[in-house]
Structure 1
Amino acid sequence: MTRVTVITGGAGGMGQATAKVVGQDQAVLLADVRQERLDAAAATLSELGIAVTTVNADVTDREAVDGLLKTAAEVGAIAAVIHAAGVSPSMGDAEYVMRTNALGTLHVNEAFFATAPEGAAIVNVASMAAHLLPEEIIPTQHFPLALQDQDRFLTEMLAACTLAPEEMRSGLAYAISKAFVKWYSSSQAERFNGRGLRIVSVSPGSIDTEMGRLEEQAGAGAMVADAAVPRWGKPEEMADLLAYCASDRAGYLTGTDILNDGGVVASMRERARLSQANSSSV
């Protein structure tokens, strides 16, 4: 039977790059909200001999997500979902960012949990921003509300964002939403395993994609310059990792996050440690 991998945000740079890898030995279903970009991505993949199906679906709409996975099951047995759909701080206000990144992840993962066959895996795209956010301002105690009351969850998440000035709230919403993705991918591992499913998150750094470059003037450019590997990551460097995490070869990998940021977080933490040590010695 045909195996199929679903890639949300499939019209984006990482989504297309990942499709080129996983499409070598199975069918690919690309989901996105941008039809023209979907059509262009499908044409590119088809020219490479990859069997591709496209679905225009908004991950903030649970019914649309359910329909997406139903279509995938009609293509073949769902081997994996790579959930790369998301928005950056420059793309909207705090509520839009939180709905798309946090609730979108919840919808895709819960639909996957309800319908995926045993042995399937889901790989969620988090962010290095989740690793840089101080733990004391992450509203982790309210994260479980997402599974109980989405309206209350959204209210608590947006309340947490009011710690920042208005102009910085979409950025804080982004970091908190990606911290949620990271938390969900860890906290739900045992539940998913009860159905024979794996769940993992991957945290990219600054990747040279259209969305990544939107944040270049908002601080990402400076962080890239100070990284252990001082350059932007390539979509292909994320694609190989995402494809591996979704593959059968990673059968023991679940409930964790893999940071792939060119050493940004490591460098920033070490610089902070040295700065504190130098201050203490004066």
Structure 2
Amino acid sequence: MGEFNRAEGVAIVTGAAGGMGSHCARLLGEDGWPELLLCDLDEARLGPVAEALRAKGAKVELLGGEITDPAFTERLLAKLGSRSIGAVIHTAGVSPAIFGDKDKLLEINLDATQAIVDAVKPRMAEGGAVVLFASMASYFPISPEADAAFEAPLPAGGTAELRHLVPNEGAAYTLSKRAVRAIAKREAKSFGDRKARIVSMSPGLIDTAMMAGEKNPQTEAMLAGAALTRLGRPEELAAAAVYLASPRAGFVTGCDLRVDGGALSSLGI
């Protein structure tokens, strides 16, 4: 769709078989990205997403695997070969309603995110961008000690060294997503040195299968009090993510975009 709409290089989407990731992949194709690498736990689930993109002329490669596997980033870079990376939209993650193991939740949402950022940074094309998915929940405080620890760089042992600060899976989700926002802020200069960008997005209550498992009186009350009293649509999240990944947002980096229908502002946050 024109030089202004994309950087050179491959566009990568993690969690690309999911409700948000699949829409991000589709809109990247519509935005003119000719080469995409779609990643998810189960490569077979990526088939329909890939076929729709290929039918419109995009070159699509697939990568299945667990993002917490230390070999995952090596396999991802091997798929790229010598090609640079124009965009990364990292939607892969889990919520407490679907995944009740707090340690694994920390590994998936935070350790794996940091590993992906570290892996792609040296391969970013000029003008390229990474978009990390955080969460509206990342703005909810846990405790001053835990909040500070998860906003700091990960220790050498990763989240295993921080688990004593995390009382349950709900706290694990909030803190891991707070850390994702901190990564985007902290890494902005090192990406800028490569003439690339990194940002995060914090979705609110979105109409996905994951959200269906999270409905409870608290979320219903939050929705009723929000500025927009409806669930967000996955395609609305995807449109924001693809915009942030494009040169149209070329002066946006190191910050978080709240896509929550005004839920946080209605809470005074």
Quick check: TM above 0.5? yes
Could you say which structure has the larger radius of gyration? Answer: 1
CA distance in 1, matches of 2:217, 2:43: 28
Partner of residue 19, structure 1: 25
Mapped contact 1:6–1:72 kept (Cα < 8 A): no
Mapped contact 1:20–1:50 kept (Cα < 8 A): no
Q: Deviations over 1:234-268 (max 9, x none)?
A: 01101110001000111111100011100111112
Q: CA deviation at 1:66?
A: 2.5
Q: CA deviation at 1:28?
A: 1.8
Partner of residue 84, structure 1: 91
Change (3 A) 1:202 1:269: same
Counterpart secondary structure, 2:20: helix
Q: CA deviation at 1:218?
A: 7.3
Partner of residue 164, structure 2: 159
Partner of residue 9, structure 1: 15
Q: Deviations over 1:137-192 (max 9, x none)?
A: 5432354452x4034x4221x21112xxxxxx111100000000001110111122
Change (3 A) 1:61 1:224: same
Aligned runs of 1:1-282 on 2, under 5 Å? 3-24=9-30, 25-26=32-33, 27-73=35-81, 76-90=83-97, 91-133=99-141, 136=144, 138-141=146-149, 143-146=151-154, 148-151=155-158, 153-156=159-162, 158-162=163-167, 169-217=168-216, 219-269=218-268
Mapped contact 1:122–1:246 kept (Cα < 8 A): yes
Counterpart secondary structure, 1:11: coil
Q: CA deviation at 1:223?
A: 1.8
Stretches of structure 2 that go unaligned for 5 or more consecutive residues are 1-6
Q: CA RMSD in A?
A: 2.1
CA distance in 2, matches of 1:30, 1:142: 29
Mapped contact 2:184–2:255 kept (Cα < 8 A): yes
Q: Deviations over 1:67-124 (max 9, x none)?
A: 21331346x5421101110001122311011000001110110001132233221010
CA distance in 2, matches of 1:145, 1:2: 30
Mapped contact 1:5–1:28 kept (Cα < 8 A): yes
TM-score normalized by structure 2? 0.89
Counterpart secondary structure, 1:211: helix
Instruction: Give aligned pairs, total.
Output: 260
Stretches of structure 1 that go unaligned for 5 or more consecutive residues are 163-168, 271-282
TM-score normalized by structure 1? 0.85
Change (3 A) 1:198 1:39: same
Change (3 A) 1:143 1:267: closer
| Greater helix proportion | 1
Mapped contact 2:185–2:254 kept (Cα < 8 A): yes
Q: CA deviation at 1:40?
A: 2.8
Mapped contact 2:146–2:166 kept (Cα < 8 A): no
Q: Deviations over 1:198-242 (max 9, x none)?
A: 110010001111122221237433322221101110011011100
CA distance in 1, matches of 2:123, 2:78: 8
Identity over aligned pairs, percent: 35
